[in-house]
């Protein structure tokens, strides 16, 4: 059986199709298809407040392409979630209604709390019981922060700070102050030893570009700083041609790194764990749980 997740972010839209595997009563998910496309909705929304007609056409074409892939893979069930850019677009509901009417594909706009919850459901398996964590998830339009103690989430907050928003200079100084204040209120670097855990496409790419690792899944604050400065020393064109970054990654990766580094420094985190999970994985789990719930209800 195959299920799927579509994540429409402020920078890119991703679709993941996974097979559901069962072994000795344990369920796992194996990725069989992954497609990422740079819609860049944040550039419209954070500047103009709406999704442009051109971007709506691109969303429609991409959803149509995804629908064909879902059909080809004979996907049993799927879910589409949209985040920050769709949350803030004044015409989002009209765009969603038109796409649903023509393609019969329902786009669910989720708030920051739901986004954090879905990611939490897959991140928690990467945590160690005897450590305290600050989870930092940086998207194009927002950053979700979660604090874990003994693998339990004790605090969570979404902030209007994201890689595309920084690139467009649409962040507010007050939002940076709110993030710092929230971290200060929940973490005392002098008392609490905090490890950061980072999710999002940019931190995964920064981790791939690192040279010195603390472990197979973590790197130090100093190494993240070095990678950020290294990438920042190249022009946009050089990042694509020399560092071989995608065009829609080359311009946002440094702003994203600044967000991770700021949160880590305020929390006193000396290293960051980078698990290979994200919102799409949380959606996959939600789709599976929803299917099992329906199956149990019919018994």
Please, what are the domains in the chain?
Answer: 2-112+280-297 (3.30.420.40), 127-277 (3.30.420.150)
Please give the torsion angle defined by the CA atoms of residues 172, 274, 181 and 8, in that order, rounded to the nearest 10 degrees: 40
Q: Give the residues of the chain that fall short of pLDDT 50.
A: none
Average pLDDT across the chain, whole number? 93
Distance CA 215, CA 205 (A): 16
Beta bridge partners of 35: 15
The whole model's pTM is what?
A: 0.88
pLDDT tens string 8-54: 999 999 999 999 999 888 899 999 999 999 999 999 999 999 999 99
DSSP 3-state of 25: coil
- CA 112 distance to own-chain centroid: 11
Q: Six-digit token pair at 170?
A: 């649409």
pLDDT tens string 139-177: 999 999 999 998 899 999 999 999 999 998 888 899 999
């Amino acid at each position: 059986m195959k299920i799927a997740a579509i994540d429409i972010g402020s920078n890119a839209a991703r679709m993941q199709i996974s097979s559901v595997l069962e072994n000795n009563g344990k369920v796992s998910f194996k990725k069989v298809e992954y497609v990422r496309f740079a819609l860049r909705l944040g550039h419209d929304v954070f500047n103009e407040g709406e999704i442009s007609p051109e971007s709506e056409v691109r969303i429609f074409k991409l959803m149509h392409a995804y629908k064909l892939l879902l059909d080809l893979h004979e996907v049993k069930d799927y879910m589409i979630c949209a985040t920050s850019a769709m949350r803030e677009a004044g015409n989002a509901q009209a765009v969603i209604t038109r796409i649903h009417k023509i393609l019969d594909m329902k786009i669910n706009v989720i708030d920051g709390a739901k986004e954090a919850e879905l990611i939490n459901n897959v991140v928690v398996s990467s945590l160690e019981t005897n450590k305290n964590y600050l989870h930092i998830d940086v998207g194009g339009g927002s950053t979700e922060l979660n604090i874990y103690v003994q693998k339990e989430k004790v605090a969570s907050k979404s902030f209007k700070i994201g890689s595309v928003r920084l690139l467009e200079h649409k962040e507010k100084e007050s939002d940076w102050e709110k993030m710092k204040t929230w971290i200060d209120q929940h973490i005392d670097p002098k008392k609490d030893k905090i490890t950061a855990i980072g999710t999002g496409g940019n931190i995964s790419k920064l981790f791939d570009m690192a040279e010195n690792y603390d472990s197979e899944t973590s790197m130090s604050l100093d190494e993240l700083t070095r990678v950020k400065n290294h990438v920042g020393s190249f022009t946009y064109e050089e990042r694509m041609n020399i560092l071989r970054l995608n065009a829609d990654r080359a311009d946002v990766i440094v702003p994203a790194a600044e967000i991770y580094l700021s949160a880590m420094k305020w929390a006193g985190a000396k290293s960051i764990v980078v698990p290979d999970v994200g919102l799409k994985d949380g959606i996959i789990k939600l789709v599976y749980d929803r299917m099992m719930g329906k199956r149990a209800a019919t018994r």
